[in-house]
């Protein structure tokens, strides 16, 4: 079935880096733009990155621009989010989402704390 599975979350110190992965299955990954959306504990949803189907176009909100990098490997049906210079306010569950919002992963928790 159509599925997205995130991995790579954990506890990381402020200022350090972390890379999240999202494995896609059950659909043609290479034809869809893909997004990352995060949700801080008890808070709402915040969009943090999008990458075009071919990886040539990437966009970010100001809150993460210059610190987060989205990428993809269509041969491996995998989406990535490289997060650097992490801050406590980046603590959240990170979801990968297929464009148009029909398919979400289960999320992976990132905790930024010393």
Partner 1 sequence: EIVMTQSPATLSVSPGERATLSCRASQSVGITLAWYQQKPGQAPRLLIYSASTRATGIPARFSGSGSGTEFNLTISSLQSEDFALYFCQQYKNWPLWTFGQGTKVEIK
Residues that bind partner 1 (CB under 8 A): 33, 35, 37, 44-47, 50, 52, 57, 59, 61, 95, 99-102, 104-107
Torsion sign (Cα): 3, 69, 32, 101: positive
Q: Which is nearer to partner 1, 12 or 37 (CB)?
A: 37
Give min distance, CB of 74 to partner 1, in A.
Answer: 17
Q: Which is nearer to partner 1, 3 or 113 (CB)?
A: 3
DSSP states along 36-67: EEEE-TTS-EEEEEEE-TTS--EE--TTTTTT
Q: Which is nearer to partner 1, 80 or 94 (CB)?
A: 94
Give min distance, CB of 40 to partner 1, in A.
Answer: 12
Give min distance, CB of 16 to partner 1, in A.
Answer: 26
DSSP 30: G
DSSP 27: S
DSSP states along 84-104: -S--GGG-EEEEEEETTSS-B
Q: Which is nearer to partner 1, 77 or 109 (CB)?
A: 109
């Amino acid at each position: 079935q159509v599925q997205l599975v995130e991995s790579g979350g954990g506890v990381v110190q402020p200022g350090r880096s972390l890379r999240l992965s999202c494995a896609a299955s059950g659909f043609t990954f290479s034809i869809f733009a893909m997004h990352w959306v995060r949700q801080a504990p008890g808070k709402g949803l915040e969009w943090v990155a999008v990458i075009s189907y071919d990886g040539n176009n990437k966009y970010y909100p100001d809150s993460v621009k210059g610190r987060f990098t989205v990428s993809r490997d269509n041969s491996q049906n995998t989406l990535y989010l490289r997060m650097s210079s992490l801050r406590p306010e980046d603590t959240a569950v990170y979801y990968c989402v297929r464009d148009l919002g029909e398919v979400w992963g289960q999320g992976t928790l990132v905790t930024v704390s010393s």
